[in-house]
Structure 1
Amino acid sequence: MSATKVVIVEDEPLFRQMLRAQLSADPELEVIGEAENGEAAVELARTLKPEVMLMDIELGEGMTGIEAGYAIKSERPATGIVLLSNHKAKQFIVSSGGWSYLIKRNVRDIDTVLRAVKGAAWGLLVIDPTLTDALRPRQGGALSRLEPGQLKVLELLAQGYSNQAIGRELVMEPTDVQRNLAHVYSKLDIDMRGEVDPRVAAVRTYLEQTSGL
């Protein structure tokens, strides 16, 4: 299997170098380009055709990371987008187009960054763990239908954990993880045959049905 191709978009050179070092240490990832502004990011996406763009939202003058993301997705819809932000606020997650979202100060947690980048390559939506930890289900909302164990599985799903990783984290057999996910999809009325991956649809519902940021 070939490595997932990634472009890093960050206006701070030292931070950009740190991200490159983190990603390059994983044999499943290949950093094929870097940009320091949104306009250059759009051009690199057009010419290099990466599978994932890891982008800061705030890029100085010119396009923001969100604006660049929309431009890239309009030309290459399958490109995964992982946004980096200093803002721990839900409105930024919602306005980001349903893309993966990480808090910049937490990127030293390499496992979180790798989950987000690899998940984005598969079309998944991954949210920073510090954000999901702060979210609480709205009273009387769809999430109230879930049992505590099912809600925890959904929280880990939102953080980009695979079924196997969820099982390890919760000391749960793979079949039990799958069973819990099936209950989550059913209770949240997720369309298993829809155009949107059920994992993505479940995380979107999770964001819509929580508060706390």
Structure 2
Amino acid sequence: MTVRILLCDDHAVVRAGLRALLSSAPDIEVAGEAATGEEAIALTRKLRPDVVLMDLQLGEGMDGVETTRRILAPGEDGPGEDGPGEDRPGGAAPVPHILVLTTYDTDADITRAIEAGATGYLLKAERPEELFTAIHAAAEGRTVLSPPVASRVMSHLRTPRPTLTPRERDILGHLVQGLTNRDIARTLYISEATVKTHLRRIYDKLGVTTRAAAVAAAKERRLVP
């Protein structure tokens, strides 16, 4: 079976390289290219690809994760309510599978992409044969992860998220927004001393010692909205 691909990457040179590479595979067809998330959404409707090869960083505008979410979500931007790869009633376009192809492998990037509905997450350092295999697996709806990504996912699952109290989550949320201890105290109608006590407990639970490290950990572990 020939798998029809839509390339989504903001770098023209990268797209040209991927097109040339994929053209060497007899059972993979590049149906189109998109440089932005908006183009990817429009071309997905028009071309009906089996798989969208999605970069995460797309310059200005929506990133690859948001583009993935909109392609897969029902409603105005997405193709429909059915799962990836399924035809919808009335001849509407089937929902494609999204295979992320990126250089970024942080926990936050991986988690966001998977939560948005990506079928696979591949690093650009993979060999061509592995990319071809991953494309066919994604087209069949099978999960595909680069070995380093799979290791990070397993490590993340084995490490329980720190349990924060509702008040600690409130304070951490305000901390992420850049509020000072005084501002947090005024907002929550508590004393600065109480804020400092909560912060010490938050630091202990996150395994950090500074405000900046706490903010980074909160974003990395998605502990606040």
Supply the RMSD in Å over aligned alpha carbons: 2.0
Equivalent residue for 1:83, pick from 100, 103, 109: 100
Conservation of the 8 A alpha-carbon contact between 1:12 and 1:36: yes
Distance 2:135 2:159 in 1: 32
Conservation of the 8 A alpha-carbon contact between 2:122 and 2:146: yes
Aligned pairs for 1:35-184 within 5 A: 35-74=34-73, 75=79, 77-78=84-85, 79-96=96-113, 97-99=116-118, 100-104=120-124, 106-107=125-126, 109-133=127-151, 135-136=154-155, 138=158
- 1:195: which partner in 2? none
Distance 2:133 2:111 in 1: 20
Conservation of the 8 A alpha-carbon contact between 1:112 and 1:128: no
Normalised TM-score (structure 2): 0.56
AA in 2 matched with 1:94: T
AA in 2 matched with 1:69: T
TM superposition shift of 1:8:
0.4
Aligned length, in residue pairs: 137
AA in 2 matched with 1:67: E
- 1:207: which partner in 2? none
Deviation by residue 1:103-140 (Cα, 9 ceiling, x = unmatched) = 23x14x11221122111101111111232356557389
Conservation of the 8 A alpha-carbon contact between 1:98 and 1:125: no
TM superposition shift of 1:98:
4.4
Identity %: 35
- 1:20: which partner in 2? 19
Which secondary structure does the structure 1 equivalent of 2:58 belong to? coil
Structure 2 gaps, min length 5: 74-78, 86-95, 161-225
Which secondary structure does the structure 1 equivalent of 2:29 belong to? strand
Alignment CA distance shift 1:121-1:128 (3 Å): same
- 2:28: which partner in 1? 29
AA in 2 matched with 1:86: T
Normalised TM-score (structure 1): 0.59
Query: 4+ runs of 1 displaced by more than 4 Å?
Result: 133-137
Which secondary structure does the structure 2 equivalent of 1:7 belong to? strand
Which secondary structure does the structure 2 equivalent of 1:26 belong to? coil
Structure 1 gaps, min length 5: 141-213
Which secondary structure does the structure 1 equivalent of 2:7 belong to? strand
Distance 2:110 2:21 in 1: 24
Distance 1:94 1:139 in 2: 14
Conservation of the 8 A alpha-carbon contact between 1:101 and 1:127: yes
TM superposition shift of 1:84:
2.1
